[in-house]
Amino acid sequence: MDIALSPEVINFFMSKSFKTFLKHTAKDFHNQSVNPPVVRASTIIFKSMQHIRKTQNKAKKNPTGGHYDYGRQGTSTTHILQKILTKLEESYHVFTTPTGFGAVFLSIFSVVRPGDEIILADPVYSPTRLLTQDYLKEFNIKSIFYNPTDLKTLENNITKKTKLIFVENPGSNTFDFQDLKKIISIAKKNNIFTAMDNTWGTPYYFKPIKLGFDMAIVSATKYYSGHSDVMGGSLAVNKKVFSKVKAAERITGLRLGPDDAYLITRGLRTLDVRLDRHRENAKKVAAFLSRNKKIKLLYPYKKDSINFKMWKKYYSGASGLMGLKIKSKNINSVKKFVNSLKLFGYGYSWGGFESLALHQEFRETGNRRYMKLAKDEHLVRFHIGLEDPNDLIADIKQALRHLK
């Protein structure tokens, strides 16, 4: 199958720009189609036993080359997506998983063993907290959480047993931006693996592997897909951890299916266009919300804030997901504000073309140690979609009249 993903073609388009690469990579000249086809397989057939052994030897010599002898390892459809993402991440390799949380699990499972300790950012995604704090505890793996605004709480908790520092940036729901170079410096000084959940920014706005992280996670369910109809995850790695993750992936069977891989590849074609629009729309909505005295905006817009400075230091842009800390003694008025929105859907996840709103109950943020939320403070999460921003602002404005 003659798919235009040779190193020469990739290097040519990557030298032009991220945007051009997304539009021109992985064309299928064999079938004369712009996008590569969906190849489904459980059994991979060969012409002879010699052909099987030859493929297996190629896989040993080049483990990232897409030489498969069984369908669980992937097909050309999943391999193409991995190669595209590897270039976008500027990593050694990218593994793809059935869900975004599958990538979180794979990153941890690959390097942590019984008796080890993990240090995590306090505002990690709540299922990540449940996995590490509760589930892994039964396997004699200890989890400690650090304050994202005080990295001494990270450094002071490092022991000889610390195996992994797990970062989510910005923090889930509270959008705390951290000093990422300092975290990497601490990790390297103590010979500790690092992983970062980079779903909010994606490699379009920030590349964790390039900065020095060992592993970078993106929920492909979100912006990669862009249409709220696919589940998937990606785990970018450097060469240092590749063999560990490869072994863990093989033993767990955490592999994205070809149909979802096809849809994610198709979604990636417009990743830059969509993210640029999400950013511009969110910027306009944020400017409107910032004028309301009852709302503290959890988004990098206030230039004198530490969050803005840390965002500006590492990111080339901001996505469409933001938080609102609303001050009100009447929780029912906050709920009424959210329920009065007409152009915002109500549902979990984000990253699709549509705007979404959620009133975040305290339990949904996880059992955090460092988050302080007063009795009259309430969290609302907005995902700003691709609608006309003036329409979104008008919708929010009419809903705000219910806020008491």
**Mean pLDDT confidence for 323-337:** 95
Note the pLDDT tens digit of each residue in 39-98: 999 899 999 999 999 999 999 999 998 999 888 899 999 999 999 999 999 999 999 999
**Higher pLDDT among residues 238 and 303, named by residue:** 238
Q: Is residue 324 part of a domain?
A: yes
- How far is Cα 213 from Cα 368, in angstroms, rounded to an integer? 24
**pLDDT value at position 1?**
37
Q: Give 176's pLDDT tier (boundaries 50, 70, 90).
A: very high
Q: How high is the pLDDT of residue 120?
A: 98
Count: domains in the chain: 1
Is residue 215, in this structure, part of any structural domain at all?
no
Q: Over 70: is that where the pLDDT of 16 sits?
A: no
Give me the sign of the Cα torsion angle 318, 322, 325, 328. positive
191 lies in some domain: no
- Domain with 360, as residue range(s), is 271-400
**Among candidate residues 259, 290, 254, 267, the one with its CA nearest the CA of residue 351:** 267
Whether 299 maps to a domain, the answer reads yes
Beta-carbon contacts of residue 151 (< 8 Å; ≥ 6 apart): 178, 179, 182, 183, 186
Tell me the pLDDT tens digit for each residue of 113-157: 999 999 999 999 999 999 999 999 999 999 999 999 999 999 999
How far is the CA of 338 from the CAs of 76, 157, 160, 285, 350, in angstroms?
44, 40, 47, 15, 16
Of 24-28, 37-41, 305-309, 346-350, the poorest mean pLDDT is in: 24-28
Half-sphere exposure of 385 (CA within 13 A, CB side): 18
> H/E element holding 8?
helix 7-16
Distance of CA 212 to CAs 193, 209, 217, Å?
A: 10, 5, 14
Question: 187 by DSSP, 3-state: which?
Answer: helix
Residue 291 lies in a domain: yes
Per-residue pLDDT tens digits for 185-212:
999 999 999 999 999 999 999 999 999 9
Question: Can you tell me the distance from the alpha carbon of 277 to that of 351, in angstroms, rounded to the nearest whole number?
Answer: 12
pLDDT for res 15? 55
Between the alpha carbon of residue 262 and those of residues 81, 104, 217, 225, the distances in Å are: 8, 22, 19, 10
Residue 138 belongs to a domain? no
Helix-then-strand count for the chain, H and E:
16, 11
Going by C-alpha positions, the residue among 291, 299, 226 that lies closest to residue 264 is 226
Residue 393 lies in a domain: yes
**CATH number of the domain enclosing 298:** 3.90.1150.10
The pLDDT mean for the chain works out to: 93
pTM of the model: 0.92
pLDDT, tens digit (0-9, with 9 covering 90-100), for 369-395: 888 888 899 999 999 999 999 999 999
* Percentage of the residues of the chain whose pLDDT score is greater than 70: 95
Examine the pLDDT at 213 and tell me if it is beyond 90.
yes
| 367 domain-assigned | yes
Q: Could you tell me if 142 and 161 are in contact, meaning their C-beta atoms sit under 8 angstroms apart? A: yes
Our CA dihedral for 35, 38, 44, 45, rounded to 10 degrees, sits at: -80
